[in-house]
Structure 1
Amino acid sequence: MKKSFNLFFVLGLFTLIISSCGSDPTDELPEPDLSVIDDDVQINRTFEDLDNYTLTVLEENGLGARIFKSQLDEICEGVDITIDQENRRIVIDFGESCINSEGIERKGVVTLEYSGNFLFPGATVLTTFEGYEVDGLQIEGTRSIVNSGVDLANNQINLAVTVENGVITWPDGSSATYESDQIREVRLGSEGYEINITGTASGTSRTGISYTSLVETALEVNQPCVESGVWIPSAGVLVFNYENSTVSADFGTGDCDRTLILTYPGGSQEITVD
């Protein structure tokens, strides 16, 4: 009887091993919470919007190259821009509500404190916010831009860009935190700017999930897309890490659209962002 018991035990164990080897472990992996990526995309949308009109304001006030297409009145009808040259400060006041031709609504005050002409290496711009909102998303924190080098041959400026103590609050009262450390290579031309972005970011989503992200393939943003209302990069790959999962966001190879492909353990899907 003892030998018979051992035989059945071995046969059962062998069957279990064979069954385990034949199964696909990815079939049992739960889909990660993709709202983390949605939060990050919306947060970066607000900062791309900020960059777009910040460059315009600096250019119109003689602090940058005069090659951009936009004019101040295109930022938002009724916006109040105060220039304090003595203290090197520009205050952009959108008031209670200011809606531009693309339907973007902004509120509150953005303050730019600059060290000098932005085309000079070492020049800095520190951005702070007071009651500032973009389409209902309230932005807090500080954002600094440092000109880390100029390539005159290629008409390019390299910028070190950081966001510290970022808090973004949605209309429903939920909020996310965000910090980033990026290098932005800005190429200037007759059609506007083209930006290649590399670097890292971290934060906590609205659902309380902590995450980090890394640019795996440089993200590409250009002025014509931004001004047409397409705020996400037109190319590049951004990789997110959270809750023991890795999710890559592929923005494509250059098309000016709102789609990206998310790939994660166990699957992938194409999504379209607002």
Structure 2
Amino acid sequence: MVASIALWSCKKEESTDPTTTLDQEVTNSSVETASEAQEEADKLESDINEIEKTFSSTINARTTGDTTVTFKRCASVSITKNTTASTRTVAIDYGTGCTDSITSGGTLVTITRKGKVTIVYTGKWNALNTVSTTAFAGYSSTITKNGQTLSRTISGTRKVTNLSSITFNSNGLTGTPKFRYENNLTIELPAIDNDRPAATVTYISDKTKTWSKGFGSFSPFDDEFTVTGTFSGTNRKGVAYSAEIQEAVTHKTECWKSSIFMPVSGKVKYTTARGDATVDYGDGTCDRKVTVVINGNTYEYDAGQ
């Protein structure tokens, strides 16, 4: 996945009522924080997906000793199958710093990862009902874009259950991948501005994600995902929130070419001590505009302005 920098400078229609304005600020912080947390989870998922596709036969082999391969130019990946069980272990070691880069929308984006990520599979990675559990050891990612640098550190666990059967044929991978993602993460976020100071936040989610378009193709920009489920955590302001996806959220990778990584449609209900807020991501257009309804008040903002 092309990585983004979540520099949210929200252009919104503010209420003159100070209570309503505070409600908006709490909601915005929850939406933004959840977006940053999910972005890190998605970046990690993209790396793991790439490893699963690239080294699928080795991961799925009936018997294997320790196999070591190179990933992202400098990361070391060891693949081990327990000789007495179906368990497989993939360990990605980025060491003290492994840098990768890509050009997005004419802009060079570099990502430096550090630390180690270990994934344990209960069976073949592409088999129905296989569960993979991911753990972290000193893992962080640093993104540099347009001279701006943001670093995030992740700890905790990530559990993925395969709800589909992915097959191989002469045309490559086929099927409609569907996975359940259960995250229980702690993420250290860097300061962006005075309104968004450095913070350690939590992110707990239980989502189901369907790869509805583009699976198996060689283009990274023709994919479409639909997501349902719930998530919760604490935002940068230290306020607890919970959220439920009321209408399936859709992501399109064609938007990445314009450095847009937000959902293009769907509705999410956020709940905090300030009340409930519904966030509408739009009609499928690649943009950063959302509409928020909170306590009977409606406002809009553009997360890219």
TM score, norm. by length of structure 2: 0.69
- Alpha-carbon contact 1:204-1:211 (below 8 Å) kept: yes
Give the Cα separation in 1 of the matches to 2:166 and 2:78.
Answer: 31
Structure richer in strand, relative to its length: 2
Give the Cα separation in 1 of the matches to 2:258 and 2:130.
Answer: 29
Question: Which string of whole-angstrom CA distances, capped at 9 and with x for unpartnered residues, describes residues 25-56 of structure 1?
Answer: 99574222221221111111101111111111
Matched, 1:139 2:129: no
Q: Show the counterpart of 2:292.
A: 262
Aligned 1:168-187 pairs, distance under 5 A: 168-171=187-190, 174-187=199-212
Question: Which string of whole-angstrom CA distances, capped at 9 and with x for unpartnered residues, describes residues 192-219 of structure 1?
Answer: 5432110001112232211100111111
Helix, strand or coil for the counterpart of 2:56?
coil
Aligned-residue CA RMSD (Å): 3.0
- Alpha-carbon contact 1:182-1:198 (below 8 Å) kept: yes
Q: Show the counterpart of 1:220.
A: 250
Helix, strand or coil for the counterpart of 1:97?
strand
1:149 to 156, 164, 176: 164
- Equivalent residue pairs, number: 241
Give the Cα separation in 1 of the matches to 2:276 and 2:76.
Answer: 44
Greater Cα offset, 25-34 or 190-199: 25-34
Give the Cα separation in 2 of the matches to 1:184 and 1:229.
Answer: 22
Q: Show the counterpart of 2:65.
A: none
Give the Cα separation in 2 of the matches to 1:61 and 1:76.
Answer: 13
Shift, 1:223, TM fit = 4.3
Matched, 1:197 2:188: no
2:237 to 202, 207, 210: 207
Aligned 1:1-274 pairs, distance under 5 A: 29-31=19-21, 32=23, 33=26, 34-62=28-56, 76-86=72-82, 88-101=88-101, 102-135=109-142, 136-150=151-165, 155-164=175-184, 166-171=185-190, 174-187=199-212, 188-190=215-217, 191=219, 193-225=223-255, 229-265=259-295, 266-273=297-304
Q: Which has the larger radius of gyration?
A: 1
Structure 1 residue runs without a partner (length 5+): 1-24, 66-71
- Alpha-carbon contact 1:175-1:206 (below 8 Å) kept: yes
Greater Cα offset, 85-94 or 187-196: 187-196
Helix, strand or coil for the counterpart of 1:30?
helix
Helix, strand or coil for the counterpart of 1:119?
coil
- Alpha-carbon contact 1:45-1:232 (below 8 Å) kept: no
1:115 to 1:230, Cα distance in 2 relative to 1, 3 A = farther
Question: Which string of whole-angstrom CA distances, capped at 9 and with x for unpartnered residues, describes residues 219-266 of structure 1?
Answer: 122445458754322322222111232222222233334443333233
- Alpha-carbon contact 2:126-2:166 (below 8 Å) kept: no
Helix, strand or coil for the counterpart of 2:96?
coil
Q: Show the counterpart of 1:4.
A: none
- Alpha-carbon contact 1:48-1:231 (below 8 Å) kept: no
- Alpha-carbon contact 1:49-1:231 (below 8 Å) kept: no
Helix, strand or coil for the counterpart of 1:52?
helix
1:79 to 1:223, Cα distance in 2 relative to 1, 3 A = farther
Give the Cα separation in 2 of the matches to 1:256 and 1:38.
Answer: 18
Give the Cα separation in 2 of the matches to 1:228 and 1:261.
Answer: 21
Give the Cα separation in 1 of the matches to 2:120 and 2:209.
Answer: 19
Greater Cα offset, 125-134 or 28-37: 28-37
1:94 to 1:144, Cα distance in 2 relative to 1, 3 A = same
- Alpha-carbon contact 1:49-1:226 (below 8 Å) kept: no
Structure richer in helix, relative to its length: 1
Question: Which string of whole-angstrom CA distances, capped at 9 and with x for unpartnered residues, describes residues 147-189 of structure 1?
Answer: 123488x92122111012x111123552111111111112324
Higher normalized contact order (CA 8 Å, seq sep 6+, divided by chain length):
2
TM score, norm. by length of structure 1: 0.76
Helix, strand or coil for the counterpart of 1:94?
strand
Shift, 1:105, TM fit = 2.7
1:170 partner amino acid: L
